[in-house]
Structure 1
């Protein structure tokens, strides 16, 4: 009789954490910044169809990095939970903290379960309040840990470098234009050299407390970004060919594993269940 293979619980959890962390590190970074009128969410996302930033409820937004099919399923579950709670009780009973706790339970259960692989995702749940002091940004990791961030927060492959840049440059009370310039500059910052991210590769959304309607979430259209960002340094001729340090490729000829890339062989070929804007079923992205 052969001796059964044994792995200590500590080593098993470490291996699962390393696996999930490696998947998250492949994704481009995402930034959340508190500004005078709400919360700004910015990410580098070359896809026009697959969104990293979406609305959960009236005052609550969802943002994620990692495997697209996994965090899209989490987003849809959050929307359904928020709608059910708001319908059964009251819309004021739907809070960012409540949704963050629900996500934490789900991610923690999946991570500790031995029957399936851990989710390779990190999540922001942002909520805008009546006054800046009531704004909340919750960051959830793949193992179900929740952190209440203040001022700004970063997740994704280059989170350490981007976070250090924001730590040095961030100031409270910024207007939308200043906060957007800071977020875009942080996303383009690296230890070697800074780069100018093309406007068409930016995904930007805000939770704007000044909106008169109950729904505070709105996307910032690409046509509006040049006015907010102002003059930008000219992009060098080879800047478009510089590979993102956060998304290294083992095989240069193979498609990238970026979760926002519709050509991603692992997650990008899994179509979203519905369009985040219209709710209509989506067709499978082109390979």
Structure 2
């Protein structure tokens, strides 16, 4: 099975102090890593290929710095990386990114495309848009995958913690939820092994694509003002219950 996994280089929230200046994040000294959800998608692709055979390609849209996330995922076990890079791609919104990725998918012969459920912007829209542009079936928030011949049996958690199981024809696009697996450790030896591997780079001309003008533009970042602190209740169980009822009544929650 030939699998393409879309990954993204994002600021590492655990390693950075987020500072907003002039309506944008201050980029000085930011530490970057692969998007967490994408990491689970790559691990799932590797596990599928280990069971079923085939290869895993990781792809990203970005500049030369984005090579680091491709190499990281190749050190993890992906077979090859693909960088989509062109000044025309700068500032692309969700639809623009999906258009670029769709052109890359059409250049290959992929049976399955995986994306993370969402990335740093939290929009969770590229996977669905990509499937629509390819006219392929799509499932979101997937937390289990079983290959059954020419189709997949996929599970996804829906409202209320209920598990939904569906069968979906190949080729298809799936967005992967965290917790579907445990991404494997990437050691220094693996990173060194792929450090000098030449990565193919495709620009707008090579892809034959011109991303549509961005219809969504980020205009500001800000930290919401802190609200009132929590009311900490103390006492016995009966006293706590009485205090809670009193607070609910005072705030209009109970009459």
- Greater percentage in strand: 2
TM-score, normalization by structure 1 = 0.29
Q: What TM-score does the superposition give when structure 2 sets the normalisation length? A: 0.32
Instruction: Please tell me whether Structure 1 or Structure 2 has the larger radius of gyration of its CA atoms.
Output: 2
